[in-house]
Amino acid sequence: MCVVSANDSSALKKTEEQFVGRLLVVDDEPAILSTFRRILNNAGYDVVVAEDGGAAAEALKRESFDAVFSDICMPGTSGIELLRFVRETNPELPVILMTGDPAIETAIQALDHGAFKYLLKPIETPHIVEVARKAVQMATLARLRREALAVTATATGGADPELRATFDEALAGLWMAFQPIVTCDGELYGHEALMRLKHPRVPHPGAMLEAAEKLDDLTTLGRAVRTRSSGPVASEPGSGALFINLHPYDLNDPDLLNPDTPLTRLADRVVLEITERKDLSNMQNLRTRIIQVRELGFRVAIDDLGAGYAGLTSFALLEPDIVKIDMSLVRDIDRSPVKQRLVRSLTALCADMGITVVGEGVETKGERDALVELGCDLLQGYHIAKPGQPFPAFVW
């Protein structure tokens, strides 16, 4: 099938400037490859072509590109499989998928794996050029962001090495406190692992996360937290479920999917808490990662529900097993009819969806009793127990 509409056979004139981007075009039909090369060359792009997904993957290993145009239905490696390969090796590279036989299944897969565009053949010449232009712009923006981070780090001069030293010292002294989570009958359900610091310049978890973000080293911090949380729980089967906080970027860490790590060996007891305070909508491959962690046995929770970003995106992307109502809704709920109506609606909706609800930040008997009456399944907070060395006693 021709990719260019019959009423638009003329190609745009090639500019006199240097190439404005480097593109890889993948299709098993030579005529389509030839047409795309001509159109995009005339628009000022350097174009490399590949006749199947396998050849394209090899080209991507050898060379750098600003964007990829790929047919979906090809013998051997399909366009969807090529997209998966690109996302594993270069998460920021824009991939445009094309098809003359659109299907809901491929559209969903394209969305799940972060395709830049999903185009239906035939495609008019101006649209091909416009999509290429936007894709290269996005690739350029991603590159500039990386360069800006490097420049910012260099510009701090002596401060950046000092921050690194402080971070490393704080990491060495980092320890995990555990706070009990109980059922509405006062029985132990599990514990949340909470980061604690001893360093005077990094006095609380927020400061440690900020330092890790500035140093672009969230991976090191996340791995330390997961490893140090696992040991006490592994040695005490009666401690119940382990709730552990994940920065959304931790989902991109291959270590999380390693079956030999201490946390993964406990996966059937672990609930991964992902905060509602971070926007998840722009994360690459999020749905795929959630499927993978569930296959290992982990459960998934949304933390801080009711604070930060709206919950619809989080619910759709994460399909949580558990939600934790933010303490801002819990505080003084026994004296707030507005909060009571909201929490009652949330718990009823979650019950219909088979989602367990945790009320966190419970500080008074009145809050505890109100949350029980409103339908919360689990409770957590200072009224029950403060975080402490494994494992603190609790009261009901």
Query: 326-345, pLDDT tens digit by residue?
Result: 888 899 999 999 889 888 98
pLDDT at 107: 81
pLDDT at 155: 45
255-264, 275-284, 299-308, 326-335: segment of lowest average pLDDT: 275-284
Q: How many CB atoms lie within 10 A of CB 260?
A: 7
Cα separation, 112 vs 223, whole angstroms: 26
The better pLDDT of the pair 207, 104 is held by 207
pLDDT at 102: 83
Query: 79-96, pLDDT tens digit by residue?
Result: 999 998 988 888 788 999
Q: Which CATH class is domain 22-152?
A: alpha beta
- Least Cα distance to 195 among 209, 216, 181, 215 occurs for 209
The answer to whether the beta carbons of residues 308 and 317 sit under 8 Å apart is no
- pLDDT surpassing 70 at residue 152: no
Cis peptide upstream of residue 254 (ω within 30 degrees of 0): no
Q: Does the structural domain 159-380 have CATH classification 3.20.20.450?
A: yes
DSSP 201: T
Query: 212-223, pLDDT tens digit by residue?
Result: 988 989 999 999
SS3 152: helix
Mean pLDDT of the chain: 86
- pLDDT surpassing 80 at residue 153: no
The answer to whether the beta carbons of residues 350 and 377 sit under 8 Å apart is no
| Domain ranges for the chain | 22-152, 159-380
pLDDT at 151: 46
